[in-house]
């Protein structure tokens, strides 16, 4: 089974992120949950982003990168939104990555020198989420990634919510979250 490093989103290591990790564990995978916010969680996305701004996005990302340093090298790097920064950086730059899962976000692959051969990746987001489809260019980056390698898949779900798979937040979309989870488990299943 796969060994996964799963990075939380801008509201912190919420119960919904922990629940998602537990679903992966129940399927037999090992899941590490670094806390880039050092125990802080936030009720709203704006509050969480303010913490990241005040602390420094670079500092938050470096906490995530450092959390993987004590682990082996055959890892799947996964991230929710803000957590995609660390997950994508490690998937593209740390030798031995066995896969990557990007939920609600995707950076241009050129940010870290191009997508590495042999590393499969999935990107998941909602088709009307302005944070994914407009503001940061995440959807464009995801489409470019898919065009650059036959090992990338992009999944778009109907809706406008950003953190739609976090069961502890008001924007939770049960149907979309179940489909995201089943696609994630199908992705992880063959990874050893």
- In this prediction, residue 192 carries a pLDDT of 83
Residue 12, domain member (yes or no): yes
Rounded to 10 degrees, the C-alpha dihedral 154/88/31/12 comes to -100
For helices 174-188 and 15-26, the axis angle rounded to 10 degrees is 40
Beta partners for 2?
none
Task: Please tell me the total count of domains within the chain.
Answer: 1
- In this prediction, residue 156 carries a pLDDT of 98
Beta partners for 77?
5, 100
pTM: 0.97
Q: DSSP alpha helices (H): ranges in 7-93?
A: 15-26, 45-55, 57-68, 84-93
Per-residue pLDDT of the chain (192 residues; tens, 9 = 90+): 999 999 999 999 999 999 999 999 999 999 999 999 999 999 999 999 999 999 999 999 999 999 999 999 999 999 999 999 999 999 999 999 999 999 999 999 999 999 999 999 999 999 999 999 987 799 999 999 999 999 999 999 999 999 999 999 999 999 999 999 999 999 999 998
Which residues does 57 contact at the CB level (< 8 Å), separation at least 6? 85
- In this prediction, residue 14 carries a pLDDT of 98
CA distance 107 to 144: 10
Residue 192, domain member (yes or no): no
Range of the domain at 47: 3-187
CA distance 78 to 3: 10
Residue 160, domain member (yes or no): yes
Q: Can you give the CATH number for the domain in which 55 is found?
A: 3.40.50.1820
- The distance of Cα 8 from the centroid of its chain, to the nearest Å, equals 7
The 10 Å Cβ neighbour count of residue 26 is 9
């Amino acid at each position: 089974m796969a060994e996964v490093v799963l990075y939380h989103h801008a509201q912190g290591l919420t119960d919904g992120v922990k629940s998602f990790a537990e679903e992966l564990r129940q399927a037999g995978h090992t899941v590490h949950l670094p806390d880039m916010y050092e125990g802080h969680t936030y009720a709203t996305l704006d509050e969480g982003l303010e913490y990241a701004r005040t602390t420094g996005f670079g500092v938050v990302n470096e906490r995530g990168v450092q959390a993987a340093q004590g682990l082996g090298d055959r890892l799947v790097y996964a991230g929710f939104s803000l957590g995609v920064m660390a997950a994508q950086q490690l998937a593209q730059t740390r030798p031995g990555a066995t896969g990557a899962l990007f939920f609600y976000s995707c950076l241009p692959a050129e940010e870290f020198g191009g997508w590495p051969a042999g590393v499969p990746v999935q990107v998941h987001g909602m088709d009307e989420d302005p944070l994914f489809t407009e503001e940061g260019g995440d959807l464009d980056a995801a489409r470019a990634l898919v065009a650059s390698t036959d090992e990338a898949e992009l999944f778009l779900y109907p809706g406008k919510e950003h953190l739609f798979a976090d069961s502890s937040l008001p924007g939770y979309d049960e149907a979309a979250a179940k489909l995201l989870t089943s696609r994630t488990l199908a992705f992880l299943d063959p990874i050893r």
